[in-house]
Amino acid sequence: MNDSTYSTKYALIYTSLVALILLVPLFSYFTYMKHVHSIQNELLLKEKSLLIIKAMQDYNQAEDFFEYPRYKTFKSGLYDESFKPIFSLLDYNIKYFKDGYHIDDNHAYIIVNLPNKRYFGAKYLIVKNTISFASVYEKILMILFAIVVFVFILSVFFLRSFAKPFQKMNKQLDNFIKDSMHEINTPLSIINVNIDLYNRKNEENKYMQRMKAATKVLSNIYDDMDYLIKHERLKYEKGEINIKEFLEDRVEYFSEVARMKNIIINTKLQECGIVYMNEKQLQRVIDNNISNAIKYSYENSSIDIALYMKDNRCHLSFQDYGVGIKKTEKIFSRYYREDTSKGGFGIGLNIVKSIINKENIDLKIESQPKKGTLFLYIFPSNFLK
């Protein structure tokens, strides 16, 4: 994850939390604004009712007719004691016949009690309009949007500002690791070459075997670190690999490491054909599983490696009879080590997990403490040729 993605991700999380916290006061504010809007509308209805009453008061009965007041956004009517219309412009059936202000969905109306039969024999004046809280919703959304944008921009700014010293430190650390890896690779290669030359001229002895095994363990750690540093920058091209032959080579490679603990590697390898995968990534999967199986096995025990076809899919399993795993769900976390006494950096299985996730390789784990662990990898059928 690069620095920009990191800042954006955590700014979004922080902004979301702030938005959630603000929902309660904003809801209270929204309720308050609706109440204010409703009161304002009630005052408007009262104002119109007073204008209508004034017009009726000013009416001179000597005149031939009374021109009832009409308004564009307000409807009104006169009703008798039984709420039967005497004259009405209302386009809505009144549901609540009680003095005062009422709201029904988006309809608002006020019922005014008139002096008995003073105005054309009417007992009630009803004035109605349509009420909408759209402006309140719009205002709340604008406030929320403004706050969210402000908090997000502020969060990104502060996160990037605070992260700069750590970014610089991480860059220096990355450069140090890269330089160290380069410096380690050269002497490691020289040691391996000289051990091979010595073994060709002299009989093998347990000291040279130990040196050879130790360099292979170190080489595996180096390969993991190298992959971890480069995998986000490099594109790994896929190719055709005979997985059975490839697996045999890797088992042979680790045989000396296994012998140091008197561990026997038993193999039962069937033909799985050709898999289409990057060789370096397949090697990381196999090497880390064999290396871990050796590391966490008891001395004088064995490791079973099997390769076989089932349901038109290639199955690869690694079974050890060692200490087992208590928390299988955590073993793929980077730098996690269940048994710190065994050494290592806790990155091997994290690398394996990233590869199999990318390649859609299924994984099943069975483990019992002090009895051993089984890792079963099931390759997709489209991997086979």
For residues 262 and 163, the model is more confident at: 262
Please give the C-alpha separations between residue 276 and each of 142, 149, 239, 242, in angstroms, as whole numbers.
54, 47, 5, 9
pLDDT at 74 > cutoff 90: yes
Quote the pLDDT of residue 62.
Answer: 64
Quote the pLDDT of residue 364.
Answer: 94
- The two tokens of residue 121 are 């024999």
Lowest-confidence pick of 19-28, 31-40, 294-303: 19-28
Quote the pLDDT of residue 385.
Answer: 62
Quote the pLDDT of residue 310.
Answer: 92
Domains and CATH numbers, the chain: 3-135 (no CATH), 236-383 (3.30.565.10)
| b/e code 31-43 from CB counts within 10 Å (16+ = b) | eebeeebbeebbe
Average pLDDT over residues 193-211: 78
pLDDT at 131 > cutoff 70: yes
Query: What percentage of the chain exceeds 70 in pLDDT?
Result: 89
Quote the pLDDT of residue 43.
Answer: 94
Reported as half-sphere exposure (CB side, CA atoms, 13 A), residue 343 has a value of 6
Q: Tell me the residue type at 6.
A: Y
Quote the pLDDT of residue 214.
Answer: 80
Query: Would you say 305 and 290 are in contact if contact means Cβ atoms under 8 Å apart?
Result: yes
pLDDT-derived band at 171 (thresholds 50, 70, 90) equals confident
pTM attached to this predicted model? 0.56
- What are phi and psi for residue 130, nearest 5 degrees? -95, 125
Query: Would you say 332 and 353 are in contact if contact means Cβ atoms under 8 Å apart?
Result: yes
pLDDT at 81 > cutoff 60: yes
